[in-house]
Amino acid sequence: ITIPFFFSTYPQDEAERKEQRLAIIADHLGFSWTELARELDFSEEKINLIRIENPNSLQDQSHALLKLWAEQEGPQAAETTLIRRLTKINRMDIVHLIETKIIKDGNRIVSNTNCLTSLLMFILMFHC
C-alpha cells in the first residue's frame, strides 16, 4: 500500500513549526527585543551590532536576534527558555500567542493522525 504524498508530508516537521513560533515572537516584540536580548545574555556590543546590521525595522532586529540565539543554542534552543524570558520581561501577550500556536499545532497533528488512521482502515477493509 502506498500512502498518498499529501498524507505523508502534510504534518509540518517540528523544525518548521518551531521556525513559525520564532517568527510570531519576532513579529510582536517591537522595542522589547533589546530586553529579551539581555535576558538571553546577549552583550550590549552584540545588541548594538544587531541594530547596525538591521537598521530598517524593529521586526528585522527581532528576527536577527532570534536567529542568532537559535544558532548559538543549537539543538538546546528551547521554546521554554524563550517563554520564561518573555514572562520575565512581562510580554505575556507573546507567551499567550505561542502557547495558542503550540496547542493548535498539536490539535492539527492529532486531527491529521485520525484522518490517516481512517484512510488506512478504509483501504484495509476493501483491499484485504
Given this model, what pLDDT does residue 121 score?
58
Q: Which helix (H) or strand (E) covers residue 24, if one does?
A: helix 14-29
Given this model, what pLDDT does residue 6 score?
44
For residues 39-52, one letter each, b for 16 or more C-beta atoms within 10 angstroms of the residue's C-beta and e for the rest, the string is bbebeeeebeebee
Output the CA torsion sign for 103, 76, 28, 16: negative
Domain locations along the chain: 15-127
What whole-number distance in Å separates Cα of residue 61 and Cα of residue 50? 6
Beta-strand ranges (E) seen in the chain are: none
pLDDT by 10-residue block (mean), the chain, 128 residues = 44 73 90 97 98 95 95 83 94 92 61 55 55
Rounded alpha-carbon distances, angstroms, from residue 32 to 24, 40, 45, 106: 14, 12, 17, 28
Residue 99 has which C-alpha cell?
A: 502557547
CATH 3.40.50.850 applies to domain 15-127 = no
Given this model, what pLDDT does residue 76 score?
75
Given this model, what pLDDT does residue 105 score?
63
User: 31, 81 in Cβ contact below 8 A?
Assistant: no
pTM above 0.75, yes or no: no
